[in-house]
């Protein structure tokens, strides 16, 4: 499969099964280890022990569902109302469908917002900062992480109404996904 088309469905939700989490880790390895070479063999860290994985799942008639994108979210251990998003990744084959990343971001912020988040932050690679700005984020600072330029960015929660059903998530309108 190499395209999202009208015969299938793209759902963005919190990972709820082991195969979804495993696929999310595989996409992260593909992007952050193989492509970007930020990590040698695996990008997992201590945050994964308490983070919630979110996934974009593509289902088409006659084929099993596959995870095509992921991001993780977690509370700041120092401030319960502050949340972070990180490790946003979309499989290379599906990147031209730019709404996958945007919808993962939308669910990440909206679901944290429903859980009491008052501040949502992310360390965003510099080349991705324009996408986040279009999605109502602002740069607080710039820094180097893993040898790459990053922006510390904050979401404007007014643009992210709380989502109280993150395990169900939402279906992405295919007209906006292509």
Go through the domains of the chain in sequence order and give each one's CATH number: 9-165 (3.40.630.30)
For the cut 50, the answer to whether the pLDDT of residue 67 exceeds it is yes
Average pLDDT over residues 166-177: 78
CB 20 within 8 A of CB 42: no
pTM score of the predicted model: 0.92
Q: Report the chain's mean pLDDT, rounded to a whole number.
A: 92
Average pLDDT over residues 123-131: 96
Average pLDDT over residues 144-159: 96
User: CB neighbours (10 Å) of residue 88?
Assistant: 24
Q: What are phi and psi of 102, to 5 degrees?
A: -60, -40
For the cut 50, the answer to whether the pLDDT of residue 94 exceeds it is yes
For the cut 60, the answer to whether the pLDDT of residue 161 exceeds it is yes
Alpha-carbon distance 86 to 88, whole Å? 6
CB 143 within 8 A of CB 150: yes
Which CA distances in Å does 25 have to 14, 30, 172? 14, 9, 22
Residue showing tokens 């009491």: 116
Please write the tens of the pLDDT for every residue from 53-66: 999 999 988 888 99
Average pLDDT over residues 132-146: 97
Alpha-carbon distance 113 to 98, whole Å? 23
Task: For residue 157, give every residue at least 6 positions away whose Cβ sits within 8 Å of its Cβ, in sequence order, or none.
Answer: 109, 113, 117, 118, 120
Taking the alpha carbons of 159, 109, 152, 70 in that order, is the dihedral positive or negative? negative
**pLDDT (0 to 100) of residue 169:** 94
Pairing of strands 9-14, 52-59: antiparallel
Please write the tens of the pLDDT for every residue from 3-62: 555 578 899 999 999 999 999 999 999 999 999 998 988 999 999 999 999 999 999 888
Average pLDDT over residues 102-114: 97
Residue showing tokens 């949502």: 120
């Amino acid at each position: 499969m190499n395209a999202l088309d009208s015969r299938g469905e793209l759902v963005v939700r919190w990972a709820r099964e082991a195969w979804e989490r495993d696929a999310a880790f595989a996409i992260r390895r593909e992007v952050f280890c193989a492509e970007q070479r930020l990590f040698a063999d695996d990008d997992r860290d201590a945050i994964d022990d308490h983070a919630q994985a979110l996934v974009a799942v593509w289902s088409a008639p006659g084929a099993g569902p596959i995870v095509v994108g992921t991001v993780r979210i977690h509370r700041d251990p120092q401030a319960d109302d502050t949340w972070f998003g990180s490790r946003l990744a979309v499989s290379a084959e599906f990147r031209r469908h730019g709404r996958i990343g945007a919808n993962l971001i939308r669910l990440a912020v909206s679901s944290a917002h429903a859980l009491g988040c008052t501040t949502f932050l992310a360390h965003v690679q510099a080349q991705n900062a324009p996408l986040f700005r279009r999605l109502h984020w602002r740069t607080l600072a710039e820094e180097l992480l893993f040898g790459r330029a990053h922006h510390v960015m904050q979401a404007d929660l007014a643009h992210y109404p709380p989502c109280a059903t993150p395990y169900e998530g939402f279906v992405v309108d295919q007209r906006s996904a292509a």
